[in-house]
DNA sequence: TACGTGAAATTACATATGTAAACGAATTTG
DNA sequence: CAAATTCGTTTACATATGTAATTTCACGTA
């Protein structure tokens, strides 16, 4: 099952802190998104249906927690893009950014360290 | 305007060689996709509407060519993912793959060369 | 106990996408 | 020239997604 763009914004909130009540998710998204409360409820329900989050009863309401790990999602997304655009290889992606001069000095320093292992 | 997954498969064909008649696009996709000819015609039309390809008359039919450059598309896709998942930085992405041990020896060699510039 | 409230569940509706079939015009062929 | 074939164009329909409004239900309160 796929997680949509809008849904992933909700996931990011829950990945940062959980469990959370719907109301708190709404509050957390107020800054970044211009969504009505109803919209966020819908997204939470779709995520429930997709088994990406779970809800545990807490009195009259529910507390939501991720079931899908961010790491796994990031992995799937990254691998998907790499496979589709760069033949599944990391180096061509880095080459792409280096050609487009999108590598900051910090990137280069970090990469050097990484490569040194 | 966004290019969908299915549409991008058609674009890849045209990026490889163009201009091409619809019939040839169909032939080129026969291997990889299990699509009816009609499906590919639809995708070509949607790409026309999105101004991602253009068509020039060639007798009774049309020859299609990309208007969108693959480089630009790859750039947008990559930057989108990087921004959404890695705070817009390349190094964290590479770190992610290195942790997940998805870096082949060739990747590492290539990266070394790239970093050396 | 009837009533207002707050939260969740259901319903709504437009656009995008995947996947084609049907239709129509031009052209080739018998 | 009539029929068949070949393209492109239009229409179709189900599921996904963005974005909400409406309805319902459990609870605390008048």
Cα A46 to Cα B53: distance, rounded to the nearest angstrom: 35
Q: How confident is the model at residue A60 (pLDDT cuts 50, 70, 90)?
A: confident
A8 vs A59 pLDDT, higher one: A8
CA to C1' distance (Å), from B50 to D5? 31
Whether the predicted pLDDT of A100 surpasses 90:
no
Per the CB < 8 Å rule, is B96 touching A78?
Answer: yes
Whether the predicted pLDDT of A102 surpasses 90:
no
Per the CB < 8 Å rule, is A108 touching B115?
Answer: yes
pLDDT of residue B40: 98
pLDDT of residue A33: 95
Long-range contacts of residues A53-62, Cβ cutoff 8 Å, at least 24 apart:
A53/A11, A53/A14, A56/A19, A58/A19, A58/A21, A61/A21, A61/A22, A61/A23, A62/A21, A62/A22
CA to C1' distance (Å), from B44 to C20? 14
Cα B77 to Cα B55: distance, rounded to the nearest angstrom: 25
Please give the nucleotide, over all strands, whose C1' is closest to the CA of residue A41: C8
pTM of the model: 0.88
pLDDT of residue B100: 78
Sign of CA dihedral A65, A69, B94, B78: negative
Per the CB < 8 Å rule, is B81 touching A81?
Answer: yes
- Quick one: tokens of B72? 């630009």
Q: How confident is the model at residue A45 (pLDDT cuts 50, 70, 90)?
A: very high
Q: How confident is the model at residue B114 (pLDDT cuts 50, 70, 90)?
A: confident
Please give the nucleotide, over all strands, whose C1' is closest to the CA of residue B35: C19
Is the CB of A38 within 7 Å of strand C? yes
Q: How confident is the model at residue A4 (pLDDT cuts 50, 70, 90)?
A: very high
* Angle (nearest 5°) at CA B82 between B81 and B88: 145
Cis amide leading into B19 (omega within 30): yes
Tens of pLDDT along B18-67? 999 999 999 999 999 999 999 999 999 999 999 999 999 998 899 999 99
pLDDT of residue A37: 96
The beta-carbon neighbor of A94 closest among B75, B85, B111 is B111
């Amino acid at each position: 099952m796929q997680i949509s763009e809008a849904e992933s914004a909700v996931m990011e909130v829950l990945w940062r802190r959980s469990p959370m009540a719907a109301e708190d998710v709404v509050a957390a998204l107020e800054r970044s998104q211009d969504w009505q409360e109803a919209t966020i409820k819908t997204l939470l329900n779709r995520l429930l249906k997709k088994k990406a989050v779970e809800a545990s009863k807490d009195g009259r309401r529910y507390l939501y927690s991720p079931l899908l790990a961010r790491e796994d999602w990031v992995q799937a997304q990254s691998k998907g893009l790499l496979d589709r655009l760069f033949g599944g290889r990391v180096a061509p992606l880095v080459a792409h950014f280096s050609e487009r001069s999108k590598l900051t000095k910090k990137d280069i320093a970090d990469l050097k360290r990484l490569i040194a292992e």
